[in-house]
Amino acid sequence: MKSLVLSMNTIHTKRFCNRLCIGAVALLSVACNNQNEQFPPGANVTIAPSAYSWTVIEYLDDQGQCIYFSDDYQDNVMVITVADASGRPIGEMDLEIYLSPSNSTSPPQQENLHIFHLYDDLNNNGVIDHPQELVSGTGDPILYATKTEKYHGTKTVIVRTNTSCGGYRATLHAYAGDGYDAMEIKTQTEEEPADETTESQDEVQVTE
C-alpha cells in the first residue's frame, strides 16, 4: 500500500514539474518575442525636415566680430518617425536622440555661450514650455533617451538655435534599434555660399 501511494506521489510530482517547466519555457518565449518586437530588424528612422538653414543678419562690434545676443533665437520643430521594414509605424519604441554642435559653433570669443538647445515636446503643442521640456542646457552634446508615441510611431522634439551670427552648425542624430537618421541645422549670412554637402530637396531655408 505504501509502495502504491509513493508511486502515485512520484507520478503527480513528475507531472507538476513537467507543467512547471513548460510554463517557464512559455514565459521565456513570450519575453524573447516581446524583446524582438521592441527591436525589430530593419527599423527605419527618419527625421523631418532633413535639413534646416537660417539666413541671419549679423551686427558687428568695433573689432568686426559678430555680437552674440542671448535672446536672439528661432525654434525648429523636428518629427522623428520609426517604422518597420514594411513601413508600419512602431509605437513605444526606444529612441535615442543626440544633438551634436560642430566645432565651428564655439569660436574663442563665444566660448560657453549656448547656441543650441534640445527640447522634448511633451504635450505635442509645437512650442517650448520652458523649462519643463528642456533636455539639454549646456550646449554640449547630449544623448536623450525617450520613446516614440504609442499609436503613430513618432516623436516630436524642438531645437532652439541662437541666430545672432552665421556659421553655427549642429547635427541631430536619432537611433532606434538598428535604424539611424541625422539632419543638420545651421545659420548663415546672405554672403555665405551654399553648402553642397548639406543641400537636399527637403532642406528648409528661412530668412529672418
Q: Are residues 147 and 61 part of one domain?
A: yes
The answer to whether residue 43 scores a pLDDT higher than 60 is yes
- The count of structural domains within the chain is 2
Q: Are residues 68 and 135 part of one domain?
A: yes
**pLDDT value at residue 56:** 95
Higher pLDDT, 29 or 182: 182
Confidence of residue 16 (pLDDT cuts 50, 70, 90): very low
Cβ proximity of 93 and 43 under 8 Å: yes
Q: Are residues 181 and 160 part of one domain?
A: yes
**pLDDT value at residue 200:** 42
Q: What is the CATH number of the domain that holds 114?
A: 2.60.40.10
**pLDDT value at residue 101:** 84
Q: Are residues 55 and 30 part of one domain?
A: no
Among 134-148, 163-177, 193-207, the range with the most confident prediction by mean pLDDT is 163-177
pTM of the predicted structure, to 2 decimals: 0.71
Mean pLDDT of the chain: 77
**Mean predicted confidence (pLDDT) in 155-178:** 94
Taking the C-alpha atoms of residue 118 and residue 76, their distance in angstroms, rounded to an integer, is 10
Q: Are residues 185 and 141 part of one domain?
A: yes
Q: Are residues 174 and 135 part of one domain?
A: yes
Q: Cell 536672439, residue? A: 72
**pLDDT value at residue 100:** 87
What is the Cα 155 distance to its own chain's centre?
A: 8
**Mean predicted confidence (pLDDT) in 150-178:** 94
The answer to whether residue 28 scores a pLDDT higher than 70 is no
Angle, vertex CA 58, rays to CA 100 and CA 193, nearest 5: 70
Higher pLDDT, 45 or 10: 45
The answer to whether residue 153 scores a pLDDT higher than 70 is yes
The share of the chain scoring above pLDDT 90, in percent, equals: 51
Q: Are residues 18 and 62 part of one domain?
A: no
Taking the C-alpha atoms of residue 73 and residue 70, their distance in angstroms, rounded to an integer, is 8
Q: Are residues 46 and 34 part of one domain?
A: no
Q: Are residues 119 and 53 part of one domain?
A: yes
Helix, strand and coil content of the chain, in percent to the nearest 5, comes to 20, 35, 40
Q: Are residues 65 and 4 part of one domain?
A: no
Q: Are residues 139 and 123 part of one domain?
A: yes
Full domain range(s) for residue 129: 40-207
Q: Are residues 69 and 9 part of one domain?
A: no
